[in-house]
Structure 1
Amino acid sequence: MQFSHSNAIWQAFPELRAGALHAGGIHADADVEAAIADFNAIADARLAKVQEGEFPEIQAWRRGFSRMGLKPTQYRCASEALLRRFRQEHALPRLHPLIDLCNAISLAFAIPVAVFDTEKIVGDLEVRRAGGDETYLTFGGEIEHPEPNEVIFADGGENAHARRWTNRQSGLSAVRPATHSVLIVAEALHASAGDDIARLVETVANALARHWPAATKTAMLSPVSPRFEF
């Protein structure tokens, strides 16, 4: 399998930096609460100084959403949505140990982190513009079709695994108790994105090694190295 961004995405967003990680051996029995508390403390410290909308990581995604023709306060990148909820409620709901951990890491870095069940992906996965015929399954079980030209995560079966790029993932490839193999993707647009994504990927890999018997493969993606084979 392969994960990549289309040439058109790299051309439109040359500042994009992304990291990808594949891991097997995932299960729902890991105890990640101590790690979550550590990452939450990092987010708390940042939010004590300024709200998430002032973070450079979030501001860069807001500009990116504006360039996609979206209102950035109507459609937020995943990390902004998490930070906003965390600031208001001082906690996030628990879903699955891996998702809970990656959400906490996303809070700490203010960078969107997507986690996909690879068994639900048909062929390769690509971030690209939608044709409009792709199928998106909501978490409520409803079928949607992305708008033509919308940025989506699309597989070889014309399934949209995320809509509006980093705004909303699909229920189709959501991590469940039976999930064993995952693809984790982090993307950023801000000035220090390259260094921050590298630290984030290393952080996720180390966390996986501590909490799961997971053999991981990682990659940093850029215009000169745009593909991750796993």
Structure 2
Amino acid sequence: MYFEHDDQIWQKFPDLVAGVMTTPGITTGFSSDVLHDLVSTQTDRARARLSEHSESEFPEISAWRRVYSQMGLKPTQYRCASESLLRRFRKDDDLPSIHPVIDFCNAVSVAHGIPVAVFDLRQISGSLRVRPADGTEKYESFGGDVEHPAPGEIIFADEDGWAHARRWVNRQSGRSAVKPATSDILVVVEALHDGAADDVPKALDDIRQGLRDLWDVDPTSAVLTSRAPRFEI
């Protein structure tokens, strides 16, 4: 089993920096005080950044907006996951509580302005590739409906033809969403802005330390490049 981006992705978006992490051992047992402190540290950073600039001015968000334009999508209609979270956080001064690992990774996402996706590994069939859709893939929404991404749309596709994310970093699937029974996770952090080569490893380090503090686990991670595009799971 592995995670990778298709060659077409690297050719079209050579500035991409992708961080990948896996770990078992996610359980329902954790310290709520530790989680609160971890989330607060990250959201305080986001709050400080938003006090100076709106999320649309963040270089991390601007880069994704350019990518969405390249993909033929309106950046204000389809927003990357980190921009959507930042908009909500700016309005509510809070983030929704979903699951401890999601709550923490969402906080890291708003702090860094970078999309952070978390998948339940056991719901992924075989390997996972970021690639253009051919139109036959199936995507399960959080409401349980099954959709078919349009040919050419960038998706996270497994070997059984399930799309676990649509429009790259816009919308994850309910099929592999983290749930109370989730124990093994795959985390993907992607950025394309100037400085991404430094910022993605920093976000990975924050996630690694937080997972260790919450569950005493030892995550495995890597930063992918066009020359080393595959992460073995």
Q: TM-score, normalised by structure 1?
A: 0.99
Cross-structure match for 1:145:
148
Q: Distance in 2 between matches of 1:217 and 1:55?
A: 29
- Is 1:110 matched with 2:113? yes
- Is 1:204 matched with 2:207? yes
CA contact (8 A) 1:28 1:96 kept: no
Deviation for aligned residue 1:215: 2.5
Q: Distance in 2 between matches of 1:171 and 1:81?
A: 18
Cross-structure match for 1:3:
3
What is the alpha-carbon root mean square deviation over aligned residues?
A: 0.6
Paired residues, number: 230
Spell out the pairing of 1:65-84 with structure 2 (5 A cutoff): 65-84=68-87
Deviates more, 1:30-39 or 1:159-168: 30-39
Q: Distance in 2 between matches of 1:53 and 1:37?
A: 22
Cross-structure match for 2:221:
218
Q: Residue 228 of structure 2: SS of its match in structure 1?
A: coil
CA contact (8 A) 1:26 1:213 kept: no
Alignment counterpart, residue 50 of structure 1, candidates 53, 65, 68: 53
Cross-structure match for 1:39:
42
Q: Distance in 2 between matches of 1:5 and 1:202?
A: 22
CA contact (8 A) 1:117 1:174 kept: yes
Q: Distance in 2 between matches of 1:134 and 1:27?
A: 31
Cross-structure match for 1:180:
183
Deviation for aligned residue 1:203: 1.0
- Stretches of structure 2 lacking an aligned partner (at least 5 in a row): none
- Stretches of structure 1 lacking an aligned partner (at least 5 in a row): none
Q: How many percent of aligned residue pairs carry the same amino acid?
A: 52
Q: Distance in 1 between matches of 2:44 and 2:232?
A: 34
Q: Distance in 2 between matches of 1:200 and 1:111?
A: 8
Spell out the pairing of 1:16-27 with structure 2 (5 A cutoff): 16-27=16-27
Cross-structure match for 2:28:
28
Q: Distance in 2 between matches of 1:154 and 1:102?
A: 22
Deviation for aligned residue 1:26: 0.2
